[in-house]
Structure 1
Amino acid sequence: MSLASALSTAQSIFTNSGTQSAVSAKNIANAQNPDYTRRSAMVVTGGNGAMIGDITRSQNEPLLRQTIASSSIASGQRTVLDGLQEIKNLMGGNDNELSPAKLIAAFRNNLDAFAGKANDTGIGISFISSARDVAAGLNIASDKLQQIRKDADDQIKQNVIDLNALLAKFETVNNQVKNAVSSGADPNDSLDERDGLVKKISEIVGVTSYTRGGNDMVLYTTDGTTLFEAVPRKVTFQQTAAFDASTSGNGVYIDGVALKPGDSGNTTAKGSIQAHMQIRDKIAPTFQSQLDEIARGLITSFAETGPTGALTPMTGLFTYKNGAGVQQTAIPAAGTIVPGLASKIFVNPVVVPPAGTPDKVRDGGINGAAYIVNTAGSSYGDLLDKYNQNLTGPMVFDTDTEIADAPDVLSFAADSMGWLEQLRSTATAADETKTAMLSRSLEAFSSNTGVSLDEELSLLLDIEQSYKAGAKLMSTVDDMMKALLDIAS
């Protein structure tokens, strides 16, 4: 080896070692960055010895796609479960003590006591108090349920704002990648940033990607709607100011195509938008319809029909208001949901002490003298027994409640809680599965593309040895040069 060749080799070692050290140092600095992909300085052998050919990313497209898909699925499931938990919280603690089923059970116990001692005013007052608890429970649950729908609508609006912002940023970064590739510059930092943006987008809406020539990326929703192609597609949504049981939320449109809400406890929602839509448009409205049918069942069970049952049925113990706030006397039609009835039901003021008296429930006559049934005296509880029987009597419910096969209002109220708990249980199990799938995907992706500090430190030791070899070579060349100069002198 000539001295010139030795000097060239040493210079190459120093250059390569410097580049490798810089790459490794950057890897170590980004070891905790989940969006960073490990870099490697690729050493190639050419006519002038070893040299750094390129700085490459340890990318793994199949694992990246799996991670993005898992993130989207887990985000949708978690959002649905959180929404179901909010609805569950309306029913009280673990024993669901604020649920209609529990409130009606306590109310029925008081009804039994009143029927057994129909002349006891104190028991009658307790009975009316428990009836008011039932009505208030339905009112509060209905109102808060609509607030949950409003909150979901607000979250959809925020998700749409965030998604449009992410797509706009994605355009900028995607252009940086294309420009770097076309000019021969290093695109790796921009590629990391672009992958990170896709991950964030996937938490909002299900997304798939396709990379074209020049490393230009195109994004689609999992339903096939274009999210980004050269420019971002517009995501639009009109927020709703307020919700009641008859309000329908507006749709989310991507490039003019409506986004579908998720379905079932093990939700089909991919991303938070579809999950919030499912809470707003499916789960909460279905539970609202069940509350409304419970209210209708109570109103119907305590309807007054006169001494022979031949008079026009009119509201008795429980009544309700129309949209204008006017108290109604007509009994709602059988088997048909009255939207928002649970928020409008209340105990008839004529039976509420001190202005009213529970005796009108015991004797009849809430709607006038023609409806009085018990004329024999205060010791008779026959009418109260009839009302008690009505609670377990056959009743038809609307099929939109999804529990219409319940035989009576008491069973319907119990089935309503069963429906909610079953849905929540399914969502909980699915959330555990999908979260585990996301964890495994992230772990596999990180193992393939992330930074291992042990590996980087080991590499630094190898670089150090290479640098020492170069330094030794330079020292040897220096000694030889000195020897030659000494001979020449």
Structure 2
Amino acid sequence: MSMSSALNNAVTGLTANARMTEVVSSNLSNALTDGYGRRGVELSSVQVGDRGGGVRVDSITRFVDAGLLADRRLADAALSGQDRSAEFVSRLEQVIGGPDDAAGLGARLAEFERALIAAGSDPASELRLAAVVSRLEGVTGTLQSNSSSIQSLRQDADATIARDIDTLNSALRQVDALNTDILRLSGSGDDPSALLDARQRAVDQIAGIVPIREIPRDNGSIGLMTTSGTPLLDSAPREFGFQRTPTITADMTLASGALGAITLDGEVLDPANGIGRLDGGSLGAAFALRDQTLVEAQGALDEIAADLIARFQDVANDPSLAPGDLGLLTDQGNPMDVSDLPGLAGRIAVNSAVIAAEGGDSALLRDGLNAVVAGPAGDATQINRWIAALDTPRTDVPGATTASASGRIAAYVSEIGTTRLLAEEQLSFTTARWETLREAELADGVDTDVELQKLLQIEQAYAANAKVVQTIDAMMQRLMEL
């Protein structure tokens, strides 16, 4: 082998060693970088006539397990959706309060019942009768507060839908732009690995919002569609829209057109459910919360309010009333209309006839709401009717059960707690599945021990090639001295 051949071999070896060192150092520095794909250098030998050859860097390969990545992204969608559901249900339980919550609806009703019992033991006491009115206002105030809080949660869910749509559109545009850049770099022979990392992070962001499948295209570009077949990105990104509703009331629904639905290129995806085939991630969870879970919670609360109103306007529980008269509880001062229950818990109010601040007289609790003349001050008959009314099962209002008023409230609170526990259990399962897939994905990533071993081997190869160059240089100087 001639000295020129040896020199060519050594120089190409040094070039390859430098490139390998750069790749290994990149792997080590990005070992903890999310979305980073491990790199490797592909080498091949070169033979140039009789002059020998050397080594050539063919390409930089980015290692990613496409199947594992796809499974992890589906787990991303499930986890983000379940996490959002568990968060909102937990907030709902905090709003309603648990069975032992002193500020909860059950506790307020118990306080009202105790005030009735105290007034029954001394019907002539104006202070005790006033305390009954105050405790009843505590019940109605809690119902109103709970109703308002549930609608606030629906507004928050609506706001998260708007944020998800903005993020989805932005990420789709990023992926499309990166597709273009990757095509350009691949066509010019440059390494697009950094752009591939950025695109993977953008796609991962989309995967938390809707479950997706990545479709490989020519020259490293990709297309995206949901697992149910809705295209997200093909030749161009699709444009999704959503109109946020700043204020939501109990009577506002998607079916009535009062709440926003997702649009695709200006057209509503699905008027029936508002989301079309984009369900399965955080976006689907937000729609389910806004239009189902929280609506059902409000409906059950409205039925509790209807049950309480019915108990205290029943002529059997107050003989002074005639059918259709206002009872002790009203719908904002009006009789209850069972065909207009949505939001009733937010409108329930104590009859002003017994509120002293509004010109009423709390003594009507003892005599009967429509009593023409005052009855005996020591007669607790009517107060005892109110107490009995709380324990009597009713079947004449929507959702009525055979439970007492307190039993019905306890069942409602228990149902909210059960829903929260189920959501947390499901979240635990999806988290465990996601963590397993994530660990498998990381295991296929950068192994710092292996990379350091490679670095030592590169160092040895670099020293050997450098020694060859040094030796040839010494030989050439010796020849020149002859």
Matches of 2:285 and 2:402 in 1, distance apart?
Answer: 29
Secondary structure, counterpart of 2:241 in structure 1: strand
Q: Which residue of 2 aligns with 1:158?
A: 163
Which one of the candidate residues 385, 405, 412 is aligned to 2:408?
412
Percent of pairs with identical residues: 27
Q: Which residue of 1 aligns with 2:424?
A: 428
The answer to whether 1:54 aligns with 2:59 is yes
Q: TM-score, normalised by structure 1?
A: 0.88
Matches of 2:209 and 2:401 in 1, distance apart?
Answer: 37
Cα distance change, pair 368–421 in 1 and its aligned pair in 2 (3 A): same
CA contact (8 A) 2:305 2:344 kept: yes
Secondary structure, counterpart of 2:356 in structure 1: coil
Paired letter, 1:102? A
Matches of 2:232 and 2:36 in 1, distance apart?
Answer: 24
Q: Which residue of 2 aligns with 1:258?
A: 270
The answer to whether 1:455 aligns with 2:466 is no
Q: Please list the CA deviations of residues 104-135 of structure 1 after superposition, one character each: whole Å capped at 9, or x if unmatched.
A: 12212222222233223222222211101001
The answer to whether 1:380 aligns with 2:379 is yes
Cα distance change, pair 398–161 in 1 and its aligned pair in 2 (3 A): farther
Q: Aligned runs of 1:208-219 on 2, under 5 Å?
A: 208-219=213-224
Q: Aligned runs of 1:7-86 on 2, under 5 Å?
A: 7-47=7-47, 48-86=53-91
Which one of the candidate residues 289, 305, 318 is aligned to 2:329?
318
CA contact (8 A) 2:320 2:371 kept: no
The answer to whether 1:446 aligns with 2:442 is yes
Q: Aligned runs of 1:142-291 on 2, under 5 Å?
A: 142-248=147-253, 249-254=259-264, 256=267, 257-258=269-270, 260=273, 270-291=280-301
Q: Which residue of 2 aligns with 1:294?
A: 304
The answer to whether 1:349 aligns with 2:344 is no
Secondary structure, counterpart of 2:248 in structure 1: coil
Paired letter, 1:317? L
The answer to whether 1:124 aligns with 2:119 is no
Cα distance change, pair 171–406 in 1 and its aligned pair in 2 (3 A): farther
The answer to whether 1:466 aligns with 2:461 is yes
CA contact (8 A) 2:93 2:416 kept: yes
The answer to whether 1:88 aligns with 2:93 is yes
The answer to whether 1:101 aligns with 2:106 is yes
CA contact (8 A) 1:31 1:452 kept: yes
Matches of 1:476 and 1:225 in 2, distance apart?
Answer: 65
Secondary structure, counterpart of 1:55 in structure 2: strand
CA contact (8 A) 2:307 2:397 kept: no
CA contact (8 A) 1:75 1:270 kept: no
Matches of 2:217 and 2:408 in 1, distance apart?
Answer: 57
CA contact (8 A) 2:330 2:348 kept: yes
CA contact (8 A) 1:77 1:275 kept: yes
CA contact (8 A) 1:337 1:398 kept: no
Paired letter, 1:362? R
Q: Which residue of 2 aligns with 1:477?
A: 472
Q: Aligned runs of 1:357-376 on 2, under 5 Å?
A: 357-364=361-368, 366-367=369-370, 369=372, 375=375
Cα distance change, pair 261–412 in 1 and its aligned pair in 2 (3 A): farther
Superposition deviation, residue 310 in structure 1: 8.1
CA contact (8 A) 1:72 1:202 kept: yes
Secondary structure, counterpart of 1:246 in structure 2: coil
Secondary structure, counterpart of 2:225 in structure 1: strand
Superposition deviation, residue 313 in structure 1: 4.1
Matches of 1:20 and 1:119 in 2, distance apart?
Answer: 96
CA contact (8 A) 1:167 1:228 kept: yes
Matches of 1:278 and 1:350 in 2, distance apart?
Answer: 42
Q: Please list the CA deviations of residues 412-449 of structure 1 after superposition, one character each: whole Å capped at 9, or x if unmatched.
A: 21111111111110111111221222222222112213
Q: Which residue of 2 aligns with 1:113?
A: 118
Cα distance change, pair 298–223 in 1 and its aligned pair in 2 (3 A): same
Paired letter, 2:247? A
CA contact (8 A) 1:395 1:409 kept: no
Q: Please list the CA deviations of residues 109-167 of structure 1 after superposition, one character each: whole Å capped at 9, or x if unmatched.
A: 22222223322322222221110100100111111211121122122112212211111
Matches of 2:188 and 2:4 in 1, distance apart?
Answer: 34
Matches of 2:124 and 2:118 in 1, distance apart?
Answer: 11
Superposition deviation, residue 93 in structure 1: 6.9
Matches of 1:452 and 1:94 in 2, distance apart?
Answer: 51
CA contact (8 A) 1:313 1:331 kept: no
Q: Which residue of 2 aligns with 1:332?
A: 337
* Residue segments in structure 2 that go unaligned for 5+ positions in a row: 48-52, 254-258
Cα distance change, pair 252–299 in 1 and its aligned pair in 2 (3 A): same
Matches of 1:406 and 1:78 in 2, distance apart?
Answer: 36
CA contact (8 A) 1:90 1:98 kept: no
Range with greater deviation from structure 2 (427-436 or 56-65)? 427-436
Superposition deviation, residue 308 in structure 1: 5.1
* Residue segments in structure 1 that go unaligned for 5+ positions in a row: 263-267, 322-326
The answer to whether 1:5 aligns with 2:5 is yes
- Aligned pair count reads 465
Q: Please list the CA deviations of residues 19-65 of structure 1 after superposition, one character each: whole Å capped at 9, or x if unmatched.
A: 10111222233233202111111222343233222100011101111
Secondary structure, counterpart of 1:258 in structure 2: coil
Secondary structure, counterpart of 1:270 in structure 2: coil
CA contact (8 A) 1:296 1:332 kept: no
Superposition deviation, residue 207 in structure 1: 1.7
Q: Which residue of 1 aligns with 2:256?
A: none
Q: TM-score, normalised by structure 2?
A: 0.89
Matches of 1:291 and 1:100 in 2, distance apart?
Answer: 10
Matches of 2:124 and 2:377 in 1, distance apart?
Answer: 5
Secondary structure, counterpart of 1:284 in structure 2: helix
Q: Which residue of 1 aligns with 2:389?
A: 390
